[in-house]
Structure 1
């Protein structure tokens, strides 16, 4: 889907870091569809309001758009506009091209013979599968992109030769020495092109995704055509629709920067209401896409029988701890929550199901000796985390935080484990973040506050939290995600599941 992000998501998405990254991709897509002015405005907003990440690979491809239009976004680091950066970007693009499609002879780079080699490579390798079409990989995309560069150059050469009466060689020389600005020229349609170029453009537009956009953005020779809306036309999206969608996102992000995250529609609802909404989202709402893709039977309900007073009492006695009221209240409504179909599927979160929540007989302490992870409630850059050092220059970064020596496991799904973190660990962790905040400069303070907002709603709510909930994803993509208590966790996942983000 083209420009799939909705303004409401920009206003209400808690994770500013994740939102910032997605908006960089949105800015790239805007430019690749010919809306370079809005792309430039969005990029300026991203880099003049405490950027979370460096000038990423996605943005580096847009360097060619800024060079082509001779207009740069504000806020970019000086090195992004340097000749060295442009040289490195061109070098990386050459490295991506398969060896047999390269030549050091400029006269051969756009020859008919090289075009035939590219087309031959496409035919040899184009064996898409349902799971992973070949043309979405670098090796599959680069021959198509390289062929399109040559084909469009030939198209332009022939067209100008016919118009001016000059020979193709004379026109080719002119194209190599003159600067042709794509922005501002007439919109370009696929039907305007020769059959070979048209087929190549359509091939790149299907499927339209991040991989295609990434490699297209680094194809310098295609930007004069990209800026004239060639790929927007291939995707069947009008200039008016693109402008409307792009402007809505730019306006929403401006509002988000000014007013902060929009309050959740679940604020003020009790846990029972939130569970009912999560249940409906999962089995009859946006979560239907998951059941359709997997072929699993749709559960009748995620609710289970309520835990009795005796079961709750026995649980606390077995664990030797007083459980937080919100989690205890949840168990008294539903003793466990999920499909219980053997796949541990819980509440749909917009992408996939969360872990199935345990019943009272399965909740247990995690305290294995091999288990050695620092309690990091916030997702922060390493240079900011280092501010938590209390003066020991030899200390490892992880030692700034307490460790998950003993936490309650309350749910599991595949590599995802849901933990209830006791107040003693939460307090030690908050102390580390207070040290960070006290030492932070103004920019770092904003980044810390945004991370606190993601976890708890605000800095004040983060500082007052007692119990925490952590999602631990083990394996090769190990990660931790924090929430300010059990109700906060439920609200977050149900909010996320209001619409499918697949």
Structure 2
């Protein structure tokens, strides 16, 4: 999904993200980066915040957080004593780091490991050092294990200079938290404490609002014609045309919209499909009969088809793919029993996507009712405690069980490459998300005031300098 291509912490996207488990993954990454910078109390607050929403989140946390809590004693109350013992923590250490420690535990071995980790001074095709993050982590771990603190600080500076590509590996060293807990990395990067404080508040309040109130429909009251206008204007403003599906990137189009479809064309499409279309989709077609490739913040999405090209599609093979991959169709994790979903052998394909890009389908109410029947047949097998858990999530995702059962038209967006399956409850809701996505600017080459790349997609630390 396109939101994964924006900034690592994107308040706008978090507040409108439909899937709370995507929100959770983002929260985990943000918390770990705060911990690496030495703000372990902030990371712990985020952990506790998500725990209040779901007790099943701990398995997704990096072992680095456990090492951070060991180094500071800031253990969340929910982590049992047996998980805090030296023996339990030693099981979380990476075997490669331990092996490198055992086989290079001399000054000569350390020097050789550092040289290997930094590419022996070689540069890649883009002029960057050929850093090997796993070996660099083993090197700083070994330096601290040997008591070579000054050498460890030198290696830490290399991490600071290449934090966007090394931060995940760095967290895996149990030894390195001796330095990180005292903000050694933050100092090496040169973060501004006032900027950190402002971000801490913003991060906590954003995730708290999202988890407590659910996804926000920012453009809920925006007229359809204005949503379409936003998609067009945002794409023309923000798109990197080399990444768009256009004939000549040097001569981008003046618009991605088309003349609206007549009532006769829409009626002819309904006759061809053998089914009446939802009112909001017909309104869309009447305003623009399809839409050319639109920007999603990183590249162009497949165009939306006009009345002459919209067609019926058998999605059963695609359904087999997501079933085999255990992709959630609805946002109800850990149901505990198998759901025998109805076969999705008829959908209405409304975009020009395919297996190498993304499908957008209208799913008719008849199939939606079959989905509901499949789900609630499995729901009936749950015990009372399990039902209470599912009811809570149904309230969170669908405004309750009754609303979840009243399934009408659904918009299904399926990306086979990334195994992302997102369901929207109306065409209008789908279009609201498009309007938000097209507003994202390309940030891959974003620089700070001194001309340094910020790597905002991977980290937020460089924005705090």
Whether the TM-score (by the shorter chain) exceeds 0.5 is yes
Q: 1:53 aligns with which of 53, 57, 62?
A: 57
- Deviation (angstroms), 1:277: 1.1
Q: 2:389 aligns with which of 443, 461, 464?
A: 443
The RMSD of aligned alpha carbons is 3.3
SS in 1 for 2:191: coil
- Tell me if structure 2 keeps the 8 A contact 1:50–1:446: no
- Tell me if structure 1 keeps the 8 A contact 2:159–2:167: no
The corresponding residue for 2:313 is 366
In structure 2, do the counterparts of structure 1 residues 254 and 216 end up closer, same or farther at CA, with 3 Å as the change threshold?
same
The corresponding residue for 1:241 is 195
The corresponding residue for 1:73 is 76
Moved more, 25-34 or 214-223: 214-223
Aligned length: 424
Distance between the aligned counterparts of 2:301 and 2:12, measured in 1?
23
In structure 2, do the counterparts of structure 1 residues 401 and 150 end up closer, same or farther at CA, with 3 Å as the change threshold?
closer
- Deviation (angstroms), 1:4: 4.5
Distance between the aligned counterparts of 1:370 and 1:115, measured in 2?
53
- Tell me if structure 1 keeps the 8 A contact 2:290–2:304: yes
- Tell me if structure 2 keeps the 8 A contact 1:205–1:231: yes
Higher RCO (C-alpha 8 Å, min separation 6):
2
The corresponding residue for 2:157 is 202
Residues 48-80 of structure 1 deviation map (CA, whole Å, 9 limit, x = unaligned): 321453422x43211111011122023346664
- Deviation (angstroms), 1:434: 3.4
Q: 2:349 aligns with which of 392, 400, 409?
A: 409
Residues 397-423 of structure 1 deviation map (CA, whole Å, 9 limit, x = unaligned): 35x211111111111334311111111
In structure 2, do the counterparts of structure 1 residues 76 and 281 end up closer, same or farther at CA, with 3 Å as the change threshold?
farther
Distance between the aligned counterparts of 2:328 and 2:111, measured in 1?
55
The corresponding residue for 1:14 is 18
Distance between the aligned counterparts of 1:368 and 1:11, measured in 2?
31
> TM-score, with normalisation over the residues of structure 1?
0.75
Unmatched segments (≥5 aa) in structure 1: 158-193, 339-344, 387-396
Alignment of 1:15-30 (within 5 A): 15-30=19-34
Distance between the aligned counterparts of 1:293 and 1:309, measured in 2?
35
SS in 2 for 1:443: helix
- Deviation (angstroms), 1:490: 1.0
Residues 276-334 of structure 1 deviation map (CA, whole Å, 9 limit, x = unaligned): 112222221xx33x436679343321101111222212211211111111111111111
- Tell me if structure 1 keeps the 8 A contact 2:391–2:401: no
- Tell me if structure 1 keeps the 8 A contact 2:235–2:439: no
The corresponding residue for 1:171 is none
The corresponding residue for 2:277 is 323
- Tell me if structure 1 keeps the 8 A contact 2:243–2:300: no
SS in 2 for 1:220: coil
In structure 2, do the counterparts of structure 1 residues 253 and 124 end up closer, same or farther at CA, with 3 Å as the change threshold?
closer
In structure 2, do the counterparts of structure 1 residues 269 and 385 end up closer, same or farther at CA, with 3 Å as the change threshold?
farther
- Tell me if structure 1 keeps the 8 A contact 2:281–2:428: yes
SS in 2 for 1:103: helix
Distance between the aligned counterparts of 1:243 and 1:362, measured in 2?
52
Alignment of 1:123-138 (within 5 A): 124=119, 127=122, 129=124
Distance between the aligned counterparts of 1:129 and 1:214, measured in 2?
21
In structure 2, do the counterparts of structure 1 residues 493 and 128 end up closer, same or farther at CA, with 3 Å as the change threshold?
farther
SS in 2 for 1:269: coil
> TM-score, with normalisation over the residues of structure 2?
0.80
Q: 1:263 aligns with which of 216, 233, 245?
A: 216
Distance between the aligned counterparts of 2:128 and 2:392, measured in 1?
42
In structure 2, do the counterparts of structure 1 residues 7 and 305 end up closer, same or farther at CA, with 3 Å as the change threshold?
closer
Q: Kindly name which structure, 1 or 2, has the bigger radius of gyration based on alpha carbons.
A: 1
